[in-house]
């Protein structure tokens, strides 16, 4: 289904979000107060406009209230990011996602009703570190402070054995959500599924349990 998005602030993060949404076939309104940034995005957005997103009249004239999803990717200027988020929530935008600069910025955004607060540099740093410390970890998604989803490469230790035989859930408290094999992905692996060498296992669990599984089970 085609959705309507607005992306405010076209730094590296905002412009990547904008380009990807547009590539996925959605309608995207790109907004920045810097004309060079706006000119650079025109081919990758449905509309691109120069506007100050802390100006209520400007936001109104862009019809921003009609967008279901707005991404606020204003970088260093925390005050503008907060004011823009506040205006968007007051105008009734249902999903406002905001890039936070730091913990205090995050706390303010939470208080004024931002629906989702992201820390791209921090999250990417964690994912890269996880990848660096283990050749077995392909990708890593933090669900909360305690729980994660990881993509792990199946080693010889688990190859040619079934999920039920490995008993990962009982021994490690982790669950295999899906198995990727070359181009195929099985999102409902049966307990009798036989794991092959170099399969990619998508596993959910407590971070400590995932670590145990990765270190001892694989
Ligand atoms: P990154 O490039 O890593 O995303 P960043 O988050 O620091 O870095 P910036 O390069 O600071 O992002 O980009 C933020 C963008 O937001 C800039 O292009 C800037 O012009 C724009 N911006 C800042 N304040 C406003 C505002 N009030 N209205 C519209 N655009 C704004």
Instruction: Tell me the pTM.
Output: 0.78
pLDDT band at 194 (very low <50, low <70, confident <90, very high): very high
The mean pLDDT of the chain is 94
Residue 167 Cβ inside 6 Å of ligand 1? The answer reads no
Give the pLDDT mean for 102-108: 96
Pocket test for ligand 1, best of 32, 40, 72, 88 (most atoms within 8 A of CB): 32
Model confidence at 183, pLDDT cuts 50, 70, 90, reads confident
41-52 confidence digits (pLDDT tens): 999 999 999 999
Choice from 29, 33, 64, 86 to test ligand 1 binding pocket (greatest atom count within 8 A of CB): 33
How far, in Å, from the CA of 18 to the mean position of ligand 1? 13
Residue 74 has pLDDT above 90, yes or no: yes
Residue 19 Ramachandran class (φ > 0 left, ψ -120 to 50 alpha, else beta): alpha
User: How far is Cα 115 from Cα 29, in angstroms, rounded to an integer?
Assistant: 19
Residue spans of the domains in the chain: they are 4-118, 123-217
From 9, 18, 35, mutation site for ligand 1 pocket: most ligand atoms within 8 A of C-beta? 9
pLDDT of residue 135: 78
Closest CA to 41 of 12, 25, 66, 19: 19
Q: Write the pLDDT tens digit of every residue in 111-155.
A: 999 999 999 999 889 888 887 877 788 888 889 889 999 999 999
Which CATH superfamily hosts domain 4-118? NAD(P)-binding Rossmann-like Domain (3.40.50.720)
The whole-number average pLDDT for the span 29-51 is 98
d(CA 175, CA 167): 10
Evaluate: CB of 102 within 6 angstroms of ligand 1: no
- Span 123-217 CATH architecture: 2-Layer Sandwich (3.30)
Q: Give residue 164's pLDDT band: very low, low, confident or very high (50, 70, 90).
A: very high
For ligand 1, is residue 95 a contact (CB within 6 Å)? no
Q: Is the CB of 105 under 6 A from ligand 1?
A: no
Contact 181, 197 (CB under 8 A): no
């Amino acid at each position: 289904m085609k959705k309507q998005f607005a992306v405010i602030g076209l730094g590296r993060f905002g412009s990547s979000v904008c380009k990807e949404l547009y590539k996925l076939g959605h309608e995207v309104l790109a907004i920045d107060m810097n004309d060079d940034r706006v000119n650079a995005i025109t081919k990758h957005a449905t509309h691109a406009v120069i506007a100050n997103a802390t100006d209520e009249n400007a936001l109104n004239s862009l019809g921003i209230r009609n967008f279901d999803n707005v991404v606020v990717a204003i970088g260093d200027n925390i005050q503008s990011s907060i004011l823009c988020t506040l205006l968007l929530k007051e105008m009734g935008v249902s999903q406002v996602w905001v890039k936070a600069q730091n913990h205090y910025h995050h706390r303010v955004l939470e208080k004024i009703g931002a629906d989702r607060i992201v820390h791209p540099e921090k999250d990417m740093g964690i994912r890269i570190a996880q990848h660096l410390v283990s050749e077995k970890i392909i990708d890593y998604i933090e669900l909360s402070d305690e729980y994660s989803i990881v993509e792990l490469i199946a080693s010889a230790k688990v190859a040619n054995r079934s999920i039920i035989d490995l008993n990962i859930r009982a021994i490690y408290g982790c669950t295999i959500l899906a198995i990727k094999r070359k181009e195929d992905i099985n999102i409902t692996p049966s307990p009798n599924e036989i794991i092959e060498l170099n399969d990619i296992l998508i596993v959910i669990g407590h971070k400590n349990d995932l670590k145990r599984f990765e270190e001892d089970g694989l």
